[in-house]
């Protein structure tokens, strides 16, 4: 920046996200880790979370309810005619002009190992916008960026956040003090892009970044190919090597609103990609995106101190519970904590479990696989207790809430089929269709002292063989406690593992706690697909890989993984202690403090210097 506009010493960062008030998924985890990291707080004096006001018509007894369960203070609430601090002087003209109602306050964010942080929250009712001003905004987006809002305005996930843009821009403009300018607007995923594009036109007040927690275009393609990652990544890389882009390889994506937004991110000051694969996918979108200012900014991982005594305490808690569920205390605990969505590749877990249990059975060893996921509303203590009594939940399940809901039904059937195949071995798969690992969530058979941390610390193996996974915090979460983690090779978190290994001077052989599952190797493809890649002309045999071909690849990969996993599984406390030691060393170099210092904040400074 010029001397006339020096970098503010007390930075203001604006995070545009659908998780401003509630922790709904991965972005909420990122915000908590990022905003509480000391290296963030040292440079950033003011954080503002911006989002639509969901459920604007809901009546509340206290305006703080509009900011979620972690609200600490409300300074203004238009829907409630609440204005104790006099913000109406600047907010009411905006509400009147743009057809919105504003809520402004603060909330608390927390992350393990960090002191809590507080952020401002700015919410806008987008349900009744001034139509003329909204049309003017859409014309501006077309004129400046060639973004055809009319084409996508019937899609609410586009329209909702398009309406937010002008409301957020004008309100931030009056909220920011002169010495806080320019502020950096961070668009978390496509939801923040219209706001970032609007703010990017005002260089005096704003700089803009796109935080790519995924590449929406790539995710859609992967999830709609029968071959999933086994087809997408070889085809993408072969096409990119020939100088081609997504439309040439996979067909036009112009019908997809998220693609239209993500393709414009090169117009911002920079792009933060959560992993190398996401950066690769973004560069594949267009020639402009290939030249964009993209930096890999990894997510952080929890890194609490753990020793063998702590691991054994947690194992005792979990194995005591499993004794009642499956009828034995397994030698090895295999876990997967995740959402029940297709991209998590949960059928791969079952294939690996079948192969691993066969090998362990020959050694006289036992194992149990615990899938902790939830596709329905949270069950109460009374409900889980009743299910345990009625039909031995979670060892057995019945259709319909309070038990199986939505995707849980199909998962339960697949696990039942696996357990039938495992009959005769000391090996069982258990579906716990409830997030959380406390007595309140699991029922009276679990110790009252149990926490989710106990499940993470107790695990010997954590699975995460996703078909699409831009980063994958959960995949490596138990690593700090010596669990052997199996992310798929397309998980962005593997890039951070490799970086940490390099810093520690560790070779892959010296890193027993991470075992990548690679379903994208050319050697595993059927012959006709390998031939197409070698000739480099027609990629359709790769793109059109069948489900049967993919399953054959998965069987081969899981065979290799099971063989290697048996070699790595600890057989003594001394071996468990060694795994904990390596996991602790790696996790310390992969925590939020580290990645915020090395990845996130440098990009913020780079944006300000432009």
548-561 residue pLDDT tens: 999 999 999 999 99
pLDDT for the residue numbered 2: 44
Q: Mind listing the domains of the chain with CATH numbers? A: 11-223+268-300+594-608 (3.40.50.2000), 308-520+556-589 (3.40.50.2000)
Report percent pLDDT > 90 for the chain.
91
Q: Work out the average pLDDT over 345-365.
A: 97
Structure tokens at 50: 């911006």
pLDDT band (50, 70, 90) for residue 536: confident
Q: How far apart are CA 29 and CA 16, in angstroms?
A: 15
Structure tokens at 55: 């459920």
Q: Is the pLDDT of residue 382 over 90?
A: yes
Q: How far apart are CA 248 and CA 75, in angstroms?
A: 51
pLDDT for the residue numbered 154: 94
Sheet holding 270-273, edge to edge: 71-77, 102-109, 117-124, 44-52, 11-16, 183-188, 206-212, 270-273, 294-296
Q: Where are the beta strands (DSSP E) in 213-306?
A: 270-273, 294-296
Q: Is the pLDDT of residue 242 over 80?
A: yes
pLDDT for the residue numbered 113: 79
Q: Is the pLDDT of residue 446 over 50?
A: yes
Residue 34 burial (CB < 10 Å; 0-12/13-18/19+)? buried
pLDDT for the residue numbered 6: 56
Closest CA to 195 of 184, 185, 182, 181: 185
pLDDT in tens, 249-280: 999 999 999 999 999 999 999 999 999 999 99
pLDDT in tens, 118-141: 999 999 999 999 999 999 999 999
Q: How far apart are CA 193 and CA 494, in angstroms?
A: 27
Q: Where are the beta strands (DSSP E) in 343-487?
A: 367-372, 427-432, 461-464, 484-487
Secondary structure in 3-state letters for 111-127: CCCCCCEEEEEEEECCC
Q: Work out the average pLDDT over 185-192.
A: 97
pLDDT for the residue numbered 233: 98
pLDDT band (50, 70, 90) for residue 9: low
Structure tokens at 362: 């020959």
Q: How many residues does the chain have?
A: 610
Q: How far apart are CA 415 and CA 60, in angstroms?
A: 43
Closest CA to 297 of 609, 42, 607: 607
pLDDT for the residue numbered 537: 83
């Amino acid at each position: 920046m010029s001397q006339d506009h020096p970098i503010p010493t007390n930075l203001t960062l604006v995070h545009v996200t659908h998780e401003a008030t509630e922790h709904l998924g991965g972005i909420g985890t990122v915000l908590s880790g990022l905003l509480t990291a000391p290296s963030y707080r040292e440079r950033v004096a003011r954080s503002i979370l911006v989002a639509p006001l969901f459920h604007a018509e809901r009546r509340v007894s206290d305006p703080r309810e509009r900011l979620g369960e972690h609200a600490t203070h409300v300074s203004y609430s238009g829907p409630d005619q609440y204005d104790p601090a006099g913000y109406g002087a600047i907010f009411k003209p905006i509400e009147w002009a743009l057809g919105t109602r504003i809520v402004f306050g603060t909330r608390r964010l927390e992350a393990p190992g960090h002191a809590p942080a507080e952020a401002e929250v700015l919410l806008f009712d987008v349900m009744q916008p001034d139509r003329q001003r909204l049309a003017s905004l859409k014309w501006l987006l077309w004129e400046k960026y060639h973004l055809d809002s009319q084409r996508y305005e019937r899609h609410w996930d586009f329209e909702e956040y398009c309406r937010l843009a002008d409301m957020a821009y004008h309100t931030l403009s009056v909220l920011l003090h002169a010495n806080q300018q320019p502020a950096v607007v961070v668009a978390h995923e496509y939801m923040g892009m219209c706001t970032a594009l609007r703010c990017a036109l005002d260089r005096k007040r704003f700089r803009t970044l796109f935080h790519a927690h995924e590449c929406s275009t790539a995710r859609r393609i992967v999830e709609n190919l029968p071959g999933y990652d086994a087809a997408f990544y070889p085809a993408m890389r072969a096409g990119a090597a020939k100088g081609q882009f997504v439309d040439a390889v996979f067909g036009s994506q112009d019908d997809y609103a998220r693609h239209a937004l993500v393709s414009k991110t090169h117009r911002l000051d920079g792009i933060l990609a959560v992993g190398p694969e996401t950066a690769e996918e973004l560069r594949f979108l267009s020639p402009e995106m290939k030249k964009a200012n993209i930096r890999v900014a990894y997510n952080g991982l929890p890194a609490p101190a753990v020793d063998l005594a702590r691991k054994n305490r947690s194992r005792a808690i979990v194995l005591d519970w499993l004794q009642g569920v499956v009828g034995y205390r397994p030698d090895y605990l295999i876990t997967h904590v995740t959402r029940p969505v297709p991209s998590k590749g949960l059928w791969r877990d079952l294939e690996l479990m079948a192969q691993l249990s066969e090998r362990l059975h020959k050694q006289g060893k036992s194992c149990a696989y615990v899938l902790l996921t939830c596709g329905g509303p949270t069950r109460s203590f009374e409900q889980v207790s009743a299910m345990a009594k009625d039909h031995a939940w979670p060892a057995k399940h019945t259709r319909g809430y309070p038990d199986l809901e939505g995707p849980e039904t199909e998962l339960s059937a697949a696990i039942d089929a696996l357990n039938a195949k495992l009959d005769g071995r000391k090996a069982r798969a258990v579906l716990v269709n409830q997030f959380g690992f406390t007595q309140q969530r699991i029922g009276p058979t679990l110790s009252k002292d149990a926490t989710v941390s106990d499940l993470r610390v107790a695990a010997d193996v954590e699975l995460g063989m996703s078909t699409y996974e831009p980063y994958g915090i959960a995949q490596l979460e138990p690593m700090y406690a010596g669990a052997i983690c199996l992310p798929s090779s397309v998980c962005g978190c593997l890039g951070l593992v490799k970086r940490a290994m390099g810093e520690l001077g560790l070779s892959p052989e010296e890193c027993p706690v991470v075992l990548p599952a690679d379903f994208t190797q050319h050697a595993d493809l059927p012959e006709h697909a390998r031939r197409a890649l070698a000739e480099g002309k027609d990629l359709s045999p790769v793109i059109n890989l069948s489900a049967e071909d993919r399953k054959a690849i998965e069987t081969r990969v899981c065979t290799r993984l099971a063989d290697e996993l048996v070699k790595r599984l600890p057989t003594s406390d001394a071996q468990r202690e060694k795994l904990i030691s390596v996991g602790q060393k790696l996790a310390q170099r992969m925590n939020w403090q580290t990645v915020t210092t090395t990845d996130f904040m440098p990009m913020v400074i780079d944006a300000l210097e432009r």
